Chain A
Amino acid sequence: MSNVITASHLTLAYNNGKTEIIKDATFSIKQGEFVFITGPSGSGKSTLLKALYGQLKPSEGDLVVGGLDLTNVRQGRLQELRTHLGIIFQDYKLVNEWTVAKNAILPLMIAGYTIDVQETQAQRLLKHVKLSEHADKYPLELSGGEQQRVGVARALSKNPAVILADEPTGNLDDYSSNVIWDLMENACEQLDTTVLVVTHKIPSVFSLPYRHFIIESKGVYEVH
């Protein structure tokens, strides 16, 4: 199967290359794989995801995502790539002046689906993440865990080719966490979605085969 993500000798840095976070990392991820990424706080997990969705340009090495060379990419192509990604942020990044339902279907809105499709899809999604009764509320009226689940619903709304999730269960109890893991497992299993999840705790019950990377001391290592 083909590689969805290929990094070779990848170096990521802030401040115009002065603050190196990840150095000389080489790895690849195939389509349909489920990958956990762990590592200490501040090790660069979120930074790696940022590079994968094109928000941080590699300072050295190569990074190819979905066939797109992110070291040198035009804005239009990057825009197109991003519509195939489902990103879950550590800090949720919901739009506070939009309702929960509208937040959840942002990718559908961007893709230009009709209002009807958007509405039915919003209902379906919010039911999945157990937020049906909150559809018309605004993000700031929700608890942290509820906001996080809106973020998950948004990321899954358009059945993305790749899910990039940053601590998607960071604020959730075991029950809610399992709901999220189930959703991701389903996407991976049934839709062949590639899933990368940054987490501090790999779930104890997990039915799919998965790979595990650790980020530590600027390196990205795979645990076998």
Chain B
Amino acid sequence: MKFIKNHLMFILPLMAILLGIEFYLVFDRTTDSYEEGLKERYSMLVVSKEPIEFSTFKSLENHVSSVKEIERENIVAKVAKGIDDSASDEIIMALPYFYEVRLDSYLDLDNLEKIKANLKVNKNIKKVETFGSSHGSAYRLFKFIKFTLKLFLFFISIVSLFLIIKQMEIWKYAHKERMQVMEIFGAPLMLRSGILFKIAFLDAFIATFLTSLVFLYVKLVWAGVSGIDIIVKNQEKIFKMSDIGILLFSALFIVIIAVYFVVFSAKGVEE
């Protein structure tokens, strides 16, 4: 019982760190594509009396990266079902030209206003619609959440690391007698603290395994039925097999630091 408790006291904080790392990785990946999405969907609608070439747009505003004309036939087809062809042709002739204009980078509201003004210099352009305001605040909220999450994970990791070192010290105390005897008979550090390394490595493997299980469950079972758009869409990004390597490496790195910290804080020679 005590044995299990001791191991849990080590595995749980280690898992907290690993879950934090994995969560960070997943969050970074899914939000990367979300950010890309924000940029991609980020476009302006330009309404013009006469057709405008891409080069004209480019000369008006350098940030323009692509221009797509919205088919007027489609618009008419939608609003005027059942009307005969000659009538719809007339409607088409009367319609202005619609363009979806994309920008090369994510810009704040002030810059968007400038672009708007630049485009309107052309006399044919009657209207420029931007979706800047809603995107801008969504994006900023997003960045803020991301930042607080990182901060939170960082503190969780620090606290967990302290717990790990504490538990390691308890172990050292349990093995102190043997380690001292071995030291007096000239055993090198690695042999003396071999037991600590063994326990720590074993627990690092267990923690990695459990953390991977948690995320595999999230990925394969929970994500599909979560009903959260961004998670369903990014299901394959939630846990990659290469993450196991990252987690194991991190776990081993953490326990090696913990063991060394404890082993070297042991005092050998009395003054």
Contact = CB atoms under 8 A, between A and B. Distances in A.
Nearest to A14: B270
B185 A83 contact: yes
B270 A110 contact: no
A87 B184 contact: yes
- Considering residues B177, B178, B182, B185, which has the most beta carbons from chain A within 10 angstroms of its beta carbon? B185
A50 B180 CA distance: 13
Contact of A75 (B178, B268, B271): B268
A14 B177 CA distance: 21
Given A79-B188, A96-B177, A106 B269 contact: no
Given A83-B185, A106-B185, A110-B185, A54 B178 contact: no
B191 A97 contact: no
Given A95-B177, A97-B178, A16 B271 contact: yes
Interface string B162-203: 000000000000000110111011111001000000000000
A55 B269 contact: yes
B18 to A, nearest CB: 31
Interface string A82-125: 11010100000111111000000011001000000000000000
Interface in A177-199: none
Interface residues of B, number: 15
B184 to A, nearest CB: 6
Nearest to A54: B269
A110 B187 CA distance: 5
Nearest to B191: A110
A64 interface: no
Contacts of B188: 79, 110
Max chain A Cβ within 10 angstroms of own Cβ: one of B182, B187, B191: B187
A53 B270 contact: no
28 contacts: A16-B271, A17-B271, A54-B269, A55-B184, A55-B269, A55-B270, A56-B270, A57-B270, A59-B271, A78-B186, A79-B186, A79-B187, A79-B188, A82-B186, A83-B185, A87-B185, A93-B177, A94-B181, A95-B178, A95-B182, A97-B178, A106-B182, A106-B185, A107-B186, A110-B182, A110-B185, A110-B186, A110-B191
Given A56-B269, A95-B177, 4 more contacts: A87-B184, A87-B185, A93-B177, A106-B182
Interface of A: 14, 16-17, 50, 53-57, 59, 75, 78-83, 85, 87, 93-98, 106-107, 110
Shortest Cβ-Cβ A-B pairs, 9 listed: A82-B186, A83-B186, A95-B178, A110-B187, A79-B186, A56-B270, A93-B181, A57-B269, A107-B185
